[in-house]
Amino acid sequence: MSEDSIRFLPFDEATRLVSAIQEEEDIDDPEHRILTVYGHQDTALCWFDFDEVMRDAGVEKSDPAAKEKVTDYILHHLPDWVLES
């Protein structure tokens, strides 16, 4: 699915929905990392591929502002279908 066909929530709405973004091991591939987005009831809303987010956000893991940049990127790219979960 291309990014053009995905509808994203407004930043303010995404900020209200998300309580945490956690870097985790992909259970299907222990060598792969994902970023799981959690809501306020500790339920997973969605997940992002760690390497893709780092690349698309233009972030190096050693960047002191990496966490802030990744969080900002995800909150601007939270798909609207998370409201259905």
Tell me the per-residue pLDDT of 27-80, one tens digit each, with 9 for 90 and over: 889 889 999 999 999 899 999 999 999 999 999 888 899 999 999 999 999 999
DSSP label at residue 42:
S
The pLDDT-based confidence of 85 (bands split at 50, 70, 90) is low
- Given a contact cutoff of 8 angstroms between Cβ atoms, the answer to whether 19 and 38 are in contact is yes
* 22 DSSP assignment: E
* Beta strand ranges found along 27-80 (DSSP E): 29-39, 44-49
- The encoded tokens of residue 1 equal 């699915």
- CA dist 51 to 24, 62, 85, Å? 12, 14, 25
